[in-house]
Structure 1
Amino acid sequence: MEASEIRALFAVASRPEVVSLAGGMPNLAALPLGALSEQVARLVAQDGLTALQYASAHGLPPLRERICDVMALEGIAARPEDVVVTVGSQMGIDLLTRLLCDPGDVVLAEGPSYVGALGSFAAYQAQVVHVPMDAHGLVPDELRVALVRARTAGQRVKLLYTIPNFHNPAGVTLAAGRRAEILEICRAHDVLVVEDNPYGLLGFDGAAPAALRSTDPDNVVYLGSFSKTFASGLRVGWVLAPDEVRDRLVLAMESATLCPPTLNQMIVERYLAGHDWQGQIAVFRDLYRERRDVMLDALERFLPPGCTWTVPDGGFYVWVTVPEGVDTRAMLPRAVAARVAYASGSGFYADKSGGRQMRLSYCYPTPERIHEGVRRLAGVLEAELEPGFSTGS
């Protein structure tokens, strides 16, 4: 087990003088905190004996019903009994890896991929093989190549881990025309698909993309979370799994945590029952769209020639590629000294490649801070690109 490069940034990035473009923290200032505080007070006063007690590792039935309503927006027809509530979707990733992977098994994942998932795969000694992406998401032909190569080498591929919508960290979305093809490839090779979709409802242009699970319920395990669409601190997520996976997942939940926090589950369920949660998600979409636009404008205005970046149509992140000769990991201390922080690309690859990439997050800072942060970052990059400057100095 190794410390996450991204988590190690938090202490530095939280300093007020540093503009943090590193962390993917949702902007909770947009929540109706007054109404929520009244709701929580009523909940404890009226149902405290239940809310503060142990409950099933499966998750509270009323919440599982509400979760099915949420997933219906992405085309998923689900039964409450197939939903397992977890302590954030990260717990779902960890427990699924524990259940499905033996040491040495191969997990396919986009390159780059979510750092939390990479940590779980490493902890259970699974071997991560990255599959390239482009501006339209995971490349099907590259997936075929990876599967054939693994089979030729005698390796056992257990699952494909994918973030199809508004990818973390790349910001891209899997093209509609590729989705059925990727599912067909995985079925043909007997590879389970784990679909991680915390950002799916945060698209900037209309309806949420249809989930992979909506097309292939028998071979896709779906991971969801309220961390990005409600409150990250409550740590409420879920797994929607086929029967044989679900039953084992409940047993794994019991051994890992006995039961998830009942109070937090009840807060989320009451929020979904008593608030315009879809309207609140629309507020978040507008807020993040504005910040995305500010970041893209600032990148265009300030970054030196040779830099490129993705253009996300939802979610939290822009993925930037810098010119040859710049190592974003080595540059990070100098960026922090210039009072700006980002997430270097190497943290999003199992083999620590990605030295020319960085993830910039626009979800939390104000538009003014985003503009200033990109300006500071551009100054650091320009210094790195000066003739005679060494990134090892």
Structure 2
Amino acid sequence: MNNDSSSRIVLRLKEWISAAAPGAKLPSTRHLVAEYQASPVTVQKALRTLTSQGLVESRPGVGTFVRAFRTARPADYGWQTAALGALQAPRLTNTAAMRSASNDVIAFHSGYPSRELLPERLVRAALTRVARSEASLSRPPVAGLPELQSWFAHELSTSTPVGVTPPQPSDVVVLPGSQSGLSSIFRGLVGHGQPLLVESPSYWGALLAASQAGVRVVPVPSGADGPEPGQLARAFEETGARMFYAQPNFANPTGAQWSAQRGEEVLEVVRSYGAFLVEDDWAHDFGITSASMPIAAKDDSGHVLYIRSLTKSVSPSIRVAAVIARGPARERVLTAQAAESMYVSGLLQAAALDVVTQPGWQTHLRGVSAQLQSRRDLLVTSLQRDIPQAHLANLPKGGLNLWLRLPDGTDVERLARDCEAAGVLIAGGGEWFPAEPEAPYMRLNYAGPNPGAFPEGIRIIGGLLSRQRQS
């Protein structure tokens, strides 16, 4: 008997239950089978559904009964208002980038690549192997598995120029995702109430981590070529800040990649003020027409804290990242991280290491690069045709997103609501600014599922945007 029959029985029994007294006994299974002309399996499935919904309760050997409900006194949590005091940091809202989406919508909002862009075969094989290993039962070192530390250090050292001392495995701290690492860095190295320079726009998760750590965010304008060194120096001078958070490669949300010269200029500014650069290389594995060029590879004096995550490129279920830091800064990050999570699951570390050291890993990345380019170009072509009034200042050479400036006066929140009602999910640009946006923006992710639906999604957005401008 199919699910429709079970659902029909559930609906009919709900009507019976609504008219019955609490504690009333339901008809026997044999009676229900005869009444609804259903199989015993279907009837039992319906009864399990009612039980899970809290409408009935089963008493083995006796029967099934209407559950007796008692009117509960509402819980009073008012005492917590005085105990907690005023809110010191913004609530974690349901940011557009983290929303789940059903299969029947066109999703441009997510910050994660779709399943077909993940190394599914490598991940499944790795988890199977690791489950049989010692990693599934043992506690790893606080700083991470030595083999994984070595891998992260080696990955950065391949970009290290002659004359610069490459990072060592002992410089690496493995993290349960880059978000956790940002929180540890801001708590351990900036401190409550102290200034932190941040590109504007910038990754919303970094802004949230900074806010939760109680640091004072200072925006530094950043465009397709990154921040202007003179403006960055002025911000250091005026605020007394000792840290700058940035994404030099395929920035989220803008897709910007700094030139080698701009990276050297920014590093020189940071050094001249005795400060730190937190380099978030989140999209290292998502180059399209350019490879990531870490600034950290050119610094061996401890000014750059380099974060690289495997969460998006390996699997969202394997939250593993690392920070490479040198000197006392590394010890402070490790202390802050250990206070928060003690250590990262050895099972996940071993699985991540297994995936990225397989021969098929590089082959997979080459395939992802080609797919991202195809998706990006399809989205750009659709935008040019159906939303020509949206301005794309930068065609990203890597990453997952397009950053679009919309016509002045666009109500982005209204546009997002109208799009969702029409079956399209977008992310408004306001979440990525440390202060008020200077114009309306929209971020579109081209790594989402069903790229064949991208043109239709853009057509819908364009129609709703035109309708809004005419109203």
Q: Select between 320-329 and 301-310 the one with higher mean Cα deviation.
A: 301-310
On the 8 A contact 1:304/1:382 being kept in 2, the answer is no
Matched, 1:228 2:312: yes
Matched, 1:7 2:92: no
Q: Select between 16-25 and 272-281 the one with higher mean Cα deviation.
A: 272-281
Which letter maps to 1:193?
Answer: L
Tell me the equivalent position of 1:345.
429
Describe the SS at the equivalent of 1:242.
Answer: coil
Give the C-alpha shift of residue 126 in structure 1. Answer: 1.3
Tell me the equivalent position of 2:79.
none
Root-mean-square deviation (CA, aligned residues, Å) is: 2.0
- 1:225 and 1:33 map into 2 onto residues whose CA distance is 18
1:149-188 to 2 correspondences below 5 Å = 149-150=238-239, 156-188=240-272
Tell me the equivalent position of 1:153.
none
Deviation string for 1:278-335 (max 9, x for gaps)?
2221111111111111111111111043644421010101110011111313422112
Q: Select between 243-252 and 211-220 the one with higher mean Cα deviation.
A: 243-252
Matched, 1:61 2:140: no
Distance 1:30 1:308, change over 3 A: closer
Tell me the equivalent position of 1:365.
449
On the 8 A contact 1:20/1:342 being kept in 2, the answer is yes
On the 8 A contact 1:118/1:350 being kept in 2, the answer is yes
Deviation string for 1:179-232 (max 9, x for gaps)?
1111111111222100000112322125x2421111123200000011232222
Which residue, out of 256, 277, 284, partners 1:193? 277
On the 8 A contact 2:182/2:206 being kept in 1, the answer is yes
Deviation string for 1:342-389 (max 9, x for gaps)?
111111112242550111111123321222221111111111111xx2
Tell me the equivalent position of 2:216.
127
Give the C-alpha shift of residue 132 in structure 1. Answer: 1.2
Q: Select between 361-370 and 373-382 the one with higher mean Cα deviation.
A: 361-370
Which residue, out of 359, 362, 376, partners 1:292? 376
Percent identity at matched positions?
28
Distance 1:32 1:222, change over 3 A: closer
TM-score between both structures, scaled by the size of structure 2: 0.76
Q: Select between 87-96 and 64-73 the one with higher mean Cα deviation.
A: 64-73
Which letter maps to 1:210?
Answer: M
TM-score between both structures, scaled by the size of structure 1: 0.90
Which residue, out of 106, 110, 118, partners 1:23? 110
- 1:375 and 1:309 map into 2 onto residues whose CA distance is 20
Q: Select between 209-218 and 286-295 the one with higher mean Cα deviation.
A: 209-218
Which residue, out of 114, 120, 139, partners 1:33? 120
| Unpaired stretches in structure 1, ≥5 consecutive residues | 151-155
- 1:294 and 1:6 map into 2 onto residues whose CA distance is 29
- 1:332 and 1:61 map into 2 onto residues whose CA distance is 46
| Unpaired stretches in structure 2, ≥5 consecutive residues | 1-88
Q: Select between 280-289 and 2-11 the one with higher mean Cα deviation.
A: 2-11
- 1:219 and 1:125 map into 2 onto residues whose CA distance is 22
Deviation string for 1:224-273 (max 9, x for gaps)?
01123222220000000012111222222221111111100011112233
Describe the SS at the equivalent of 2:385.
Answer: helix
User: Whose Rg is larger?
Assistant: 2
- 2:284 and 2:119 map into 1 onto residues whose CA distance is 22
- 1:370 and 1:5 map into 2 onto residues whose CA distance is 27
Tell me the equivalent position of 2:86.
none
The higher relative CO (CA closer than 8 Å, separation ≥ 6) is in 1
The count of residues paired between Structure 1 and Structure 2 equals 378
Describe the SS at the equivalent of 1:75.
Answer: coil
On the 8 A contact 1:338/1:380 being kept in 2, the answer is no
Tell me the equivalent position of 1:71.
156
Describe the SS at the equivalent of 1:204.
Answer: coil
